[in-house]
Chains A and B, each alone.
Chain A
Amino acid sequence: MTKNEMGLEEALDSLEQIVEVLEEGKMTLEESLDQYEKGMKLVKLCNARLEGAQRRIECLTGELPPDLA
């Protein structure tokens, strides 16, 4: 799975981890900036998923009723 295909759950999990590591405060400044940047990217990714997502409805058999298609 590439970064762009990362699922919402995975992204949120990674984000939580980054926050925890950051809050521990044991990293060098460079490292923590690095993690922060990574975290913000994940935030963006999650937001994009939530905002831009088009709901896709499929039907396994037959046609979708016109009001749902």
Chain B
Amino acid sequence: MTQIFTVTDLNLRIADRLENDPRLHDLWARGEVSNYLHHRSGHRYFTLKDQGSQISCVLFKNNGQSLGFEMKDGKNVLVFGDVSVYRPQGRVQLVARAVKPDEGLGFRHLELEALKKKLEGEGLFALERKRALPLYPERIGIVTSPQGAALRDVLRTIGSYPARIILSPAQVQGDGAEESIAAALCALRSKADVIIVCRGGGSTEDLWCFNSEVVARAIFSCDVPVISAVGHETDVTIADYVADSRAATPTAAAKMAVPDVEEIKERMRITRVRMMRALWTGLERKEERLEYLKHTFSAKRMHSLARDLRQRLDYLCEGLNFAQANKLQILKSRLELAEGRLAAVGPQATLQRGYAIARSRQGLILRARDARPGEEIELILGQGKLLCRVLECRDEREALL
């Protein structure tokens, strides 16, 4: 038999069924807040949704007093509560007893995680492909909104650094922002040495375009290093992962892009000093050498050199004298020796024994006929001599008695 319900009865029956199912009590649900309404009664009404579905939620005043964060559309939350049916409208709803912020784990964040994984797998975040920033860029491309404070921050920070700044305007939030940023990046091809892509702080919603695939790929295919600076320090987008360098703020990005002018000036000053010093050192070294040479050839030194030479000469002379004297001595001894030997063979010894040598002007008188009567002759004795006159010359036979 077919039962016919009144609508009220039907909803009552559904309510009974759902509200008595223990699996629909004390549960956690995850989703993104939308249609958020904080009613003057103090109750909060919102829709919790994900990619495929949604459910109405209510957080009554007594449960929402210690929320601890600001509920708003787009917020990803975890809701704890029970399923019930709002009978007047036959609406299934989640009666929340507690709501907690769900950091980065909402469906959009799940999508984001998936995109991150995909791009990472393709090597878009690889550290090896990050290019070093040029030290002294001559052309700086900036992709941002011409109206934004970020652009002014960047320009102020670049200050007086001498570079051409090429602004490539982009819409940095709202519908079409992703394509606009990607196009602005492409437009800088071969026009810059470094590119800054930036925007100031904003809600996660506002910054979301920097999480898009099209922007990631545009950054990846830039022909020069890209610095990303999106939002504040705590906001990290996919653009930041792909960029060659990530800066916490637009001001920080500009600081990264250009060297500090004062620092260069200091470096120049040091360089100048180093050059001067090197030149002076070189000069001093030559001067020292000159001084040394001068000293080497000074009169004083010459004098001392001459003195040394003289001394050496004296020394040599002395040596020579000594040698000479020695030689004389030797000669003298030799002479004495010879004298002795001569004496031994000479007539002296014989004369000492009583013989005499007779000598005329013609020489030795060996025979009587060597002299003539009346001639004066000399008799050499052992000591002294006698001058004698010859009385008579007798020949040999007569002389032998």
Contact = CB atoms under 8 A, between A and B. Distances in A.
Nearest to A23: B278
Nearest to A61: B169
Interface in B97-145: 134-136, 138
Contacts of B275: 18-19, 22, 36, 39-40
Contacts of A65: 146-147
Contacts of A12: 136, 264, 267
B261 interface: yes
Contact of A50 (B138, B167, B261, B272): B261
Q: For the side of the interface on B, what is the size category?
A: 35 or more
B274 A23 contact: yes
A62 B282 contact: no
Nearest to B286: A29
Interface stretch (B4-12, B154-162, B201-209): B154-162
B268 A58 contact: no
B297 to A, nearest CB: 21
Given A60-B188, A61-B168, A32 B162 contact: no
Given A9-B136, A62-B146, A25 B267 contact: no
Tell me what chain A mostly uses at the interface: helix, strand, loop, or mixed.
Answer: helix
Contacts of A60: 166-169, 184, 187-188, 191
B165 A50 contact: no
Contacts of A39: 271-272, 275
A65 B167 CA distance: 11
Given A55-B158, A61-B168, A9 B135 contact: yes
B279 interface: yes
B164 interface: yes
B162 A57 contact: no
Contacts of A64: 146, 167
A9 B283 CA distance: 30
A57 B154 CA distance: 12
Given A7-B138, A60-B188, A32 B167 contact: no
A58 B167 contact: yes
B265 interface: yes
B279 A55 contact: no
Contact of A25 (B147, B165, B278): B278
Contacts of A36: 275-276, 278-279
Interface string A6-34: 01110010011011001101010100110
A2 to B, nearest CB: 16
A51 B90 CA distance: 76
Nearest to B183: A61
A25 B281 contact: yes
Given A50-B264, A50-B265, A32 B164 contact: no
A47 B276 CA distance: 17
B285 interface: yes
B332 to A, nearest CB: 70
A5 to B, nearest CB: 11
Contacts of B278: 19, 22-23, 25, 32, 36
B257 to A, nearest CB: 14
A57 B278 CA distance: 41
Contacts of A57: 155, 165-167
B187 A61 contact: yes
Contact of B271 (A19, A29, A59, A67): A19
B271 A16 contact: yes
Given A39-B271, A60-B184, 6 more contacts: A19-B271, A19-B278, A25-B281, A29-B286, A46-B268, A55-B162
8 contacts: A12-B264, A12-B267, A27-B282, A36-B276, A50-B265, A60-B169, A67-B152, A68-B146
